[in-house]
Amino acid sequence: MASEIILLIDVKKEEAGLIKGLISSFEIKVRSLEWERILECGDIFRDKPVCLVILQVDHSHGRQFRKLRWIRRHLLKPVPVLVMLPGEASMHTASYVKAGADDYCLLPLHQGRFAVRFLVLLECGQAMVHAAVPGHGDIDSGPPGDAEVWHRVVGFLREGLSFFTPGYQVSGKNTQPIFNRWERVENLGVGGDGVVWKVREIETGNVAVAKIPHNREMNISSLRAAAILKRLIHHPNVVHLIEVVKDEDRFVLIQEYVAGETLSHLLGAGVDALQKEDIFLQLLSVTAYAHHHSVMHRDIKPDNIIITPTGNLKLLDFGIAEDLVWQDGISTTEGTLDFMPPEQFAGKSSLATDVWALGIILYLLSVNRLPFCHDNRYFPMDISMEMNVTPPLDINPALSPDLNRIIMTCLEVSLEKRYASALALLEDLSRTFPRFGREGVFSE
């Protein structure tokens, strides 16, 4: 088969040079064309192994959306399309996505910020080129099946209540293989951003998990989550991303299936002190690693923590995680009520937001109860922001005063007084308890 092609349309020399540098070790060709030349060669995509299309637009000129629609109509496979926009067009990104872009980047490009997202799309596009893919018409065309309607209704409801922990599962009837490669085995649940399936690879029988967004408007979130998982791939406590595929116009994340029990279930069954410490050390390690790479999870909670039969921890669900390399501040209210600090309710998250959640879990491991129990009938804006915490030492006098201090520092409402990141928490915990995980700091 001929070498795969990345097609650059109206991409300036500087940006093209950066892209060529990123793929210099790959056997991939880059073809640069101006838009006028594209129109002259109407069959530009025919019999060509195009794996990624990158369009650079000048938002000050009209007809930019038409270019995307034209590309979508003429692509013979659901190849990823990335649009590069000038910074002043940032308010119009949703319109470009609606017109056909799968992802976008704002100019000027920065190699560190651009590379991972680019490589995720490229990998997906390569899979498209080498696979026999199903039809890729707009998923909104034609009447959806019962399961699809139900998933969208639930998704709509969950979109407004994304700060609640899902406590239900939806059984779907859709058994079509994903990307003609992954057959659905079991519906594991549904959330505001998509449906989660246990799947099996038809060719090998390997089991995995598929996270399917409800619609193509949620593709950006899927791609962001994939890029974050790629950045954290080398940590053993992060769920491995197997691949990203495009199915029915939606980017589906195929992740490793982790057999085990959630931390919630384990705590209900009973866990000894040393095992609690080992669990928290693993959780702190993966969170500190994420923070070192400027990634915040934003939804650390027992239901997102799996412990395997061998005792290994996996931190799940980076669906609302954010990479601060790409974004300076977060302005959305998402998370789980009992693990959210005041600033997260206000839509202002930072690395210290995860520290609060770690403090909640450390509190829970210490005294077997949560410091807060918010009533889920209320919305975040209706919940008191005072959040007065009863020190765990008051509940369990046998608790180490130093551990009490560390927990209360995690749960400081003031960001200036709270640990700035999991790295700072890890440093203090290691200095205070050098044998944490081996000497039984938690009382039985």
- 177-234 pLDDT, tens digit per residue, is 999 999 999 999 887 778 999 999 999 999 999 999 998 888 988 998 999 999 999 9
- For residue 278, the model assigns a pLDDT of 96
- For residue 130, the model assigns a pLDDT of 79
- For residue 140, the model assigns a pLDDT of 39
Residue 104, token pair as written in the block: 């976008």
CA separation for the pair 282, 361 (Å, rounded)? 13
**pLDDT greater than 50 at residue 443:** yes
**pLDDT greater than 70 at residue 340:** yes
Looking at residues 323-341, what average pLDDT do you find?
A: 71
Dump strand ranges (E) for 313-428.
313-315, 322-323
Q: What mean pLDDT is reported for the chain?
A: 84
Is 299 an annotated catalytic residue? yes
Worst-scoring range by mean pLDDT, 117-126, 130-139, 197-206? 130-139
Q: Which of 108-122, 193-207, 429-443 has the highest mean pLDDT?
A: 193-207
Cβ proximity of 208 and 201 under 8 Å = yes
- For residue 147, the model assigns a pLDDT of 42
- For residue 386, the model assigns a pLDDT of 63
Domains of the chain, first to last:
4-130 (3.40.50.2300), 146-256 (3.30.200.20), 261-432 (1.10.510.10)
**pLDDT greater than 50 at residue 153:** no
Q: Which residue has the higher pLDDT, 108 or 175?
A: 108
CA separation for the pair 285, 415 (Å, rounded)? 21
Q: What is the chain's percent helix, strand, coil content, to nearest 5?
A: 40, 20, 40
Looking at residues 48-76, what average pLDDT do you find?
A: 86
Cβ proximity of 285 and 313 under 8 Å = no
Q: Which helix (H) or strand (E) holds 393?
A: helix 392-395
- 357-408 pLDDT, tens digit per residue, is 999 999 999 999 999 765 554 555 555 556 789 999 999 999 999 999 999 9
- For residue 94, the model assigns a pLDDT of 87
- The CB-based long-range contact list for 11-15 (8 Å cut-off, 24+ gap) reads 11/54, 11/55, 11/56, 11/84, 12/56, 14/108, 15/56, 15/84, 15/107, 15/109
Helix (H, G, I), strand (E, B) or coil at 281: helix
Query: Which pLDDT band holds residue 157 (cuts at 50, 70, 90)?
Result: very low
From 10, 103, 278, 299, the catalytic residue: 299
β-strand partners of 56 = 84
